[in-house]
A and B are shown apart, each in its own frame.
Chain A
Amino acid sequence: MNIRRLVLDVDKAISRPTILEVGEAIEGVAGVEGFNITVTEIDIETVGMNLTVEGEKIEYEALVEAIEQTGAVVHSIDQLVAGAKTVERVKRER
């Protein structure tokens, strides 16, 4: 499957790893052309982040492995875009 975009729910402890360390790990994954890490929640000891990764033939397993090797945790896949072309989400209207 040609994964073009992944939106992941990623959490990490407050003190470490730093967001830069997580970013460096993501950058090294095959297929990743660009990414965005946005902090969505800061708790007393944890930071919740929304991670959007775009590219061509992104290796999901390698991506999760790289993120988790830094000490951050992937909780869920919130969006997956794959195939020969990028298909944006269409809101249903009734």
Chain B
Amino acid sequence: MTEALPPLAGLRAASPAASAVQVAAERRLKRRYAAEQRFKWYGRLAIILALSFLAVLLTRIVGQGYTAFWTHSVTTQVRIDPARVDRSYIEGTNFDQMIAEAVLVRLGGRDDPEGLASGQIRRLLSPDLGLNLLVRVREDPSLIGRTVTVGGAVSDEADFYFKGGITREQPEGDRPLSNQQLDTLDRLQAEGLVRSGFNTTLFTRTDSTQPEIAGLLGAVIGSALTILVAALLAVPVGVLAALYLEEFSPRNRLTQFIEVNINNLAAVPSIVYGLLGVAVILNTFGLPRASPLAGGMVLSLMAMPTVIIATRSALKAVPPSIREAAFGVGASRTQTVFHHVLPLAMPGVMTGAILALAKALGETAPLLLIGMVAFTPSIPSGPTDAATVLPVQIFLWNNASERGFEERTAAAILVLLLFMICMNALAITLRRRFERRW
């Protein structure tokens, strides 16, 4: 067999018969290296493909969503006409109209009897200005009869125009703003009444039907509460279940059956957990619909099999010599597990748990079923309040018809991704901490 090996560099056998064998061997060797090269390239191509998909996805989301992070607001002075305010019923005042008229006057315009001119301007301002004014007047009725400065977001169409989404080149009928409205906006800008700035509304307010005053705070808090509930349920229960199955339970048919079923549960579609949530958590237990508590419970059911599987493999990876060492000095099984095995498995447990929860964080379907899809304009003050979560908010905004929600949907996706990056960073930090602990 040895003569079938190719000669070392430069050496050639003298006899033609031997050299034929060597040529064949050399060819085989070349094929082997070619195969190796080929395989390397398949791998590189796979990585390039995966990265380019990711790049396309991120570019698209960022490209669509970055405009949502700044917005335009307008400031104007308005005299609160005492004749138009009923002091006993301030809420009844049409502050929106008052502001629109003030803007019209400021720009040197004059309202027509039908109020068409001011009506045009009202469509350029968000109802936020009127609300702001109402709140201020209610708090301090002495403002009535005085001139105050009021500011607020422009309407989403106006904002869209300032950001270049609407241009004069488009036929007037195809765009939501008329030429006259565009003129008004240009004048407002020229007068220095319009300012652009960071869109704090997106992070300080909750959902709204008006995109310019819609924010994610409610959804972020809802998500945080839901994940907290899910983590508090899924991690301890999952880790204890895994500990029992891995370290204490006898190996028999029953535990094998349980094991197979846990693996199956990890593959159950999430909407099935949603149906289970409706049937058991809402209808049988009677927990409040659309609450982070109910949502967290559903998500914990979903995350638990993953936590169990990750924990078991982390426990399996602890070298048996550590168990022997602990048994050898007379530690009981429980002491062995809790003093030595679990601390060593902790980084793996943490990683598994956080990955499972990150997946749960992005889950939409089961939460739709338990009612978290409802429009929730309030911030949940506790886990039993009605709330929505970020992925459901994205779903809702994506379905909304207003133009302003388009960019805000992408922005919400970015916020959700940021949330997940934070969770993964937490996972890595925890992992490092536990690994360093001697």
Partners in one complex: no
By a beta-carbon cutoff of 8 Å, the part of chain A in contact with chain B is none
By a beta-carbon cutoff of 8 Å, the part of chain B in contact with chain A is none
